[in-house]
Amino acid sequence: MSPALGEYTGEDIQQSPEKNLFGKYELGKLLGYGAFAKVYHGWDIESEQNVAIKAINKQKIIKGGLTGHVKREISAMRRLHHPNIVRLHEVLANQKKIYFVLEFAKGGELFSKVAKSRFSEHLSRRYFQQLISAIGYCHSRGVYHRDLKPENLLLDENWNLKVTDFGLSAVTDQNQVDGLLHTMCGTPAYVAPEILAKNGYDGAKVDIWSCGIILYVLNAGYLPFNDPNLMVMYRKIYKGEFRVPKWTSPELKRFLARLLDTNPTTRITVDEIIEDPWFKVGYKDVECYSDYFEMKDEGEEEMSRVGNLNAFDIISFSSGYNLSGLFDEQDAGEMFLSKVAPEEIIERVVDAVEEERLTVAMRKKWCVQVDGGQYRNFSLLVEVKRLTEDIVVVEVKWRDCESEPGLEMWKDRLRPVLSNLIYQSNSSVTSN
């Protein structure tokens, strides 16, 4: 279980105090918890499917300085659509919590299975093949997990592996000028020696090292590097001092030595792993999911030239992935897509607020600010941004320092009047 954000296990613990989430999900049993998050079994009311819902305490995340972890996890997971990676369906938020709606892995943690008994070499290979398929895919998408361990590997109802918990992940654009990552992270027994050296490291190489530790644990039932004294354990890791159990085949022993090579430049790569004779036995590559919002590099460049938004923003506006305002305690807001001309949108907003006897404090071509009139501290800002030639994004923000009339004014009075502006087939509205 991640010490920062927490993940879920396959065992029920207690009933959630909440029953309904945004009218979309029913919350059930608490499945697991960490210092900043609890994970519940959930039920998607519309699709009638099981989901896992990670509820993150927003205030604790802010105070703990872990805002970046949450944003990185969302940024990483929305890039990944692979059968052996837990799918992030959407992100929801209110004033107190952020909710990750995740694919439900009924089988629980792989750790709980291997803790009872080591796996056969055949079963170890099967799960390692699924792990490498997932991690190779992550690396091809520019995502490095950096905290791979059996506790972050789940099993679905068919006992297939699912990688989860990307809270410590990194993406390619976090690399520094030397092309390496420099953040110290990971779980001590699984951390690569080059991370301990503090000279920068290749995210792909450290994931391979952790995969090697996992394979060792599956086959042996215990860790290759372990000691009550943390510095002694780190010394063993740095020197690569480990022994394989006597039941390990010569082929697997040789393979583990390549995975746990302390020199990252000579350590085996994903491509070399796939060609290894021990690994190849019974291996079949999987077909990855397609994604409507997935874009090629040239597409990103083209979209970034249109209006004020780029492809990263487009993905953010897809259902459930809007990160704006997640950690803003004062402002709340929504975004939606529209095919109506920006000038007409602003005109319609002005007409609606004047009908409610609110005051237009500022009006520009694609922006209008509204003061609350009788609601002293209420302020509403509506801004239109060009997304494509035909589609715009309408961003609505309100602020109310005393109570909730701002939210009530927008949702119950203004939004219904303006609802026909929303581009229904692709619209998404995310509330804070």
pLDDT tens-digit map of 271-298: 999 999 999 999 987 766 544 333 333 3
Tell me the percentage of the chain whose pLDDT exceeds 70.
74
Q: Does residue 432 surpass a pLDDT of 70?
A: no
Q: Does residue 430 surpass a pLDDT of 50?
A: no
pLDDT, one tens digit per residue, over 230-277 is: 899 999 999 998 999 999 999 999 999 999 999 999 999 999 999 999
111-125, 186-200, 404-418: which has the minimum mean pLDDT?
A: 404-418
| Cα 303 to the center of its chain, rounded Å | 24
Angle (nearest 5°) at CA 280 between 279 and 281: 95
pLDDT, one tens digit per residue, over 40-76 is: 999 999 889 999 999 988 888 888 777 877 887 887 7
Separation of first and last alpha carbons in the chain: 28
Q: Does residue 11 surpass a pLDDT of 90?
A: no
Region 80-87: what's the mean pLDDT? 91
Nearest-CA neighbor of 206 among 138, 159, 151, 288? 138
Residue 178 confidence (pLDDT): 42
For tokens 């519309």, the residue is 46
Q: Does residue 308 surpass a pLDDT of 90?
A: no
Q: Are 387 and 306 in contact (CB under 8 A)?
A: yes
Region 190-216: what's the mean pLDDT? 89
Residue 259 confidence (pLDDT): 97
Angstrom distance (rounded) from CA 257 to CA 208: 12
Q: Does residue 77 surpass a pLDDT of 70?
A: yes
The CATH number fitting domain 14-103, selected from 3.40.50.1370, 3.40.120.10, 3.40.350.10, 3.30.200.20: 3.30.200.20
pLDDT, one tens digit per residue, over 375-408 is: 556 677 888 887 667 778 888 877 654 445 556 7
pLDDT, one tens digit per residue, over 146-168 is: 889 998 899 999 999 999 887 76
Catalytic residues: 147
Q: How many CB atoms lie within 10 A of CB 177?
A: 5
Domain positions in the chain are: 14-103, 108-280, 297-421
Q: Does residue 10 surpass a pLDDT of 60?
A: no
Between helices 250-259 and 203-220, what is the axis angle to 10°? 150
The CATH number fitting domain 108-280, selected from 1.10.510.10, 1.10.10.10, 3.30.420.40, 3.60.15.10: 1.10.510.10
Q: Does residue 91 surpass a pLDDT of 90?
A: no
Q: Check: CATH 3.30.310.80 for 297-421? A: yes
pTM comes to 0.67
Tell me the residue type at 401. Answer: C
